[in-house]
Amino acid sequence: MRRRSLLLAASGVGLVTTARQVSAQNSLPDIVVGQTADLKGPLHDQVLAFNEGALLAFADINSRGGLFGRRLRLVTLGDDGVPERALGNAQSLINDHHAQIFFGCVGSNTTQALEPLLRETGIPAFAGFAVTDSVRQKCRGAAYFMRATYGREIEQLVQHLTTIGVNRIGLVTLAGPIGEEIHKLMADALATRKLEIAVSTPVLADGSNIADAARKLLALQPQAVVMFINGQLAADLMEDAPRIGLQSSFYGLSIVSGDVVMHRLGERARGLVIVQAAPYPWNMFDATIHEYRNLCTMMKLTVSYYGLEGYVSAKVLADALKRSGSELSRARMHAAFRTLQSRYAGMDIDFIAGGHTGSRFVELVQIARHGRYVH
């Protein structure tokens, strides 16, 4: 908690702030960036890391005079993953905090609940994550997403697995419609290669059936198990596997936090392969990534994939706002996103070609010894 307090103090932004805070630099009002997210649930580690990266970028921009002489200020309200609460937060962010854009909102169900409000108000949303492809499509024209789609992640993972001779693939998803969508994407990707999912099992959000899921996998011993569950559940499953004799290799889509799994399992997390939608944060040659790491060192923050994603997303957001002009009208912000093409941290960002999604970047990384990632 202390490291986040240091960051917030240095950046002049907070998780919850009063409306219309006056800039310390001049009398111009802040540019308020609103976020509703689950700050306590299974993805809270990713949310906090993403926000740390974004706040680093905002603080750096503010130290250079901000945008149009105005400071960027992030206001985050917790929604516990409840759609109705997310909608209430969004209304409060607009009416009470005077948010001009939504940023980094998390979750499929909550994002879907915001879609009518986004269209009614014309306020754009940018860089939401953990949002399924179908919800992105529903929000097309109202929301813009940085990270590659789950369909893209799955296609790249299936291509890798089949290339190395793995054709008996198991799938573990969250129970419910979101997991069912991932199941269909996986089935479709395998069908193009004349393959089928060898075994599929849904896991409840509370993890109460994780042992049953492990036994179901054991019965068919797939060569590889692909996981679409949060990091804590992934760690539970991987911890159960050797105890019951499950010999499969484990792969995670980007929803699986490798940091969470490593924190739980230590060296037992070795070998886990994760599809990442952000570049390698320890790249020694890219200027943007080097800048991010330097700021992390300065603020005593941990370098991470989600932190880098938040940092890059915040810089792209600032780029779009700058292009929209000092008035920051909602129509001009949408126009700026729809015509945005840029390159950050080795990622090509292209909303002209991608529509609702700017990046197609995905790569596979593996957890090695001592908590290192290799790619």
Mean pLDDT of the chain: 92
**What number is the average pLDDT over the span 35-53?**
96
In sequence order, the 6+-apart residues with CB closer than 8 A to the CB of 144 are 124, 125, 126, 127, 337, 351, 356, 357, 358
The two tokens of residue 277 are 């939608």
* DSSP annotation of 42: T
**What number is the average pLDDT over the span 208-229?**
96
- Do 52 and 7 touch, CB atoms closer than 8 A? yes
pLDDT band at 371 (very low <50, low <70, confident <90, very high): confident
**Other beta carbons less than 10 A from residue 306's beta carbon:** 25
In this model, does residue 174 exceed pLDDT 60?
A: yes
The pLDDT of residue 355 is 83
In this model, does residue 14 exceed pLDDT 80?
A: no
**What number is the average pLDDT over the span 256-280?**
96
Beta bridge partner(s), residue 76: 35
The pLDDT of residue 18 is 35
Q: Which of 151, 110, 145, 141 is nearest to 128 (CA)?
A: 145
- Strands, E assignment, the chain: 31-37, 72-78, 101-103, 125-126, 143-144, 169-174, 199-203, 224-228, 249-252, 273-276, 341-344, 347-350, 363-367, 373-374
The pLDDT of residue 370 is 86
- Do 349 and 359 touch, CB atoms closer than 8 A? yes
* DSSP annotation of 100: S
Instruction: Give the SS3 label for residue 136.
Output: helix
Percent of the chain whose pLDDT exceeds 90: 90
Measured distance CA(358)–CA(337) in Å, rounded: 9
For residue 122, CA distances in Å to 33, 39, 84, 114, 333 come to: 15, 26, 20, 12, 10
* Burial of 83 (C-beta count, 10 Å sphere; 0-12/13-18/19+): middle
In this model, does residue 87 exceed pLDDT 70?
A: yes
More confident call, 97 vs 26: 97
More confident call, 306 vs 9: 306
Measured distance CA(17)–CA(33) in Å, rounded: 11
pLDDT band at 375 (very low <50, low <70, confident <90, very high): confident
Measured distance CA(9)–CA(177) in Å, rounded: 41
In this model, does residue 248 exceed pLDDT 50?
A: yes
In this model, does residue 22 exceed pLDDT 90?
A: no
The pLDDT tens digits of the residues spanning 142-170 come to 999 999 999 999 999 999 999 999 999 99
In this model, does residue 11 exceed pLDDT 60?
A: no
In this model, does residue 101 exceed pLDDT 50?
A: yes
Q: What element of type H or E holds 240?
A: helix 231-244
pLDDT band at 353 (very low <50, low <70, confident <90, very high): confident
Q: What phi and psi, each to the nearest 5 degrees, are found at residue 366?
A: -120, 140
Helical packing angle, 83-95 and 108-121, nearest 10°: 40
Q: What phi and psi, each to the nearest 5 degrees, are found at residue 216?
A: -65, -40
The two tokens of residue 75 are 């206001």
In this model, does residue 21 exceed pLDDT 70?
A: no
The pLDDT of residue 150 is 98
Least confident of 85-89, 346-350, 351-355: 351-355
Rounded (10°) CA dihedral 320, 321, 327, 328? 90
In this model, does residue 13 exceed pLDDT 70?
A: no
The pLDDT of residue 26 is 56
Measured distance CA(51)–CA(229) in Å, rounded: 21
**What number is the average pLDDT over the span 267-289?**
96
More confident call, 129 vs 4: 129
- Which of 290-293's residues contact partners 24+ apart within 8 Å by CB, and which partners? 291/60, 292/53, 292/56, 292/345
The pLDDT of residue 17 is 36
In this model, does residue 261 exceed pLDDT 50?
A: yes
DSSP calls for 44-93:
HHHHHHHHHHHHHHHHHHHHTT-BTTB-EEEEEEE-TT-HHHHHHHHHHH
Q: What element of type H or E holds 264?
A: helix 258-265
